[in-house]
Amino acid sequence: MRVGVHWSVLAVFALIALGLAGGRLPEAHPGRPWPAYAAAGVAAAVVFLASLLAHELAHAVAARRDGVPVDDVVLWLLGGATRLRDEAPSPAAELRISGSGPLVSLLLGVGFFAAAWLMAAAGAGGLAVESVVWLSLINVLLALFNVVPASPLDGGRLLRALLWWRTGDRLRATARASAVGRGFGWALVALGLWAFVWTAAFGGLWLALIGWFLVVAATEEGRQARLRQLLAGVAVRETMTPDPETVDARLPVDALVTERPPARRHTAFPVTGADGGPVGLVTVEEAARVPGPERARTTVGQVMAPLARVVTAEPGEPVADLLPRLGSGAEHRAVVVDGGRVAGIVSPSDISRVLRWRGGPA
């Protein structure tokens, strides 16, 4: 499992550090030297980002315990995201995975509050205590906000799990939860814009931005649910391009980019090892990034995405279960493996073709 940090986290870090150092801390404890406020603000911002990471890692740990592979955890502008390779296998697993993050944030909030109380009782400095109190409040608020029953928040996942348990239909539950998420997001957009117009408060625009993010994410979840519904009952073997052209991992990149005829017709190839089994996936775009003079001595195996990072599927697997995983595959493709050999490849164009046959959006 990979843990990443998007560059936009720098904006969150700066906003928190500057907000504390230039606002809350001087107001609560005036008369201190500026470097003391700055140090306390930076320290609180670092611990808050660590709290966000703990929230997301809780999702990842719970997912793994329920047998759901985790691709990565990424912190970004509006919090964090834990990308799972598969759907939760049951409503109970969905509840555990979704509820673990808010629970950890709540426990952190309680822990920071207890730490602040102990620090104050021990006579610790006011800036340190104030920073820990802020960390307590922000973690509790994070937990409460995330349990709002609106996708894609954790509360939306919890709502989906409950609807799934009641109806027995995961797709219908996802559609309903995403509809609630869109409604909540539009409400935040309206509230944020109203607050900005009437009070000129920058926080109103921030609230509207969060609402817009929720609208976009919930809409995408609803679209995915609709696609899965249209693809219900379709097996991967009915969707894939069978017996795709493969390349040997030992092939020089120069042969793939300039000499191999299929490279002019396709943009991605399953890569096979010496025994003929799949070892990865290479895209022509990635191979073309190798500088010209180095292509003759660079092999496909050196530039390919290894099989561990490639989405794989079996021919009899429902394509509806494969669909959520395609976004994490190299070039959004999946290699179909049967008996240790490459049986096919599934690309977005294959999915679109099946959707056209079934009367859905291509």
Supply the residues annotated as catalytic. 56
Q: Which residues lie closer than 8 Å to 291 by C-beta, 6 or more apart?
A: none
Omega of the bond leading into 152 within 30 degrees of 0 (cis): yes
- 278-283 β-sheet, strand order: 247-248, 268-272, 278-283, 305-306
CA diameter of the chain: 76
The CA distances from residue 342 to 65, 166, 278, 362, in Å, are 30, 40, 6, 26
Tokens representing residue 208 in the block = 């509207």
DSSP string, 14-68: HHHHHHIIIIIHHHHSTT--HHHHHHHHHHHHHHHHHHHHHHHHHHHHHHHHTT-
- 334-338 β-sheet, strand order: 241-242, 341-346, 334-338, 311-313
Residues 159 and 177: beta-carbon distance below 8 Å = yes
Q: Hunting for tokens 């969905």 — which residue is that?
A: 94
Q: How far is CA 9 from the centre of its chain?
A: 15
Q: How far is CA 298 from the centre of its chain?
A: 33
The CA distances from residue 228 to 69, 354, 358, in Å, are 20, 12, 12
Q: Which residues lie closer than 8 Å to 99 by C-beta, 6 or more apart?
A: 154, 158
Judged on CB neighbours under 10 Å (0-12, 13-18, 19+), 353 is middle
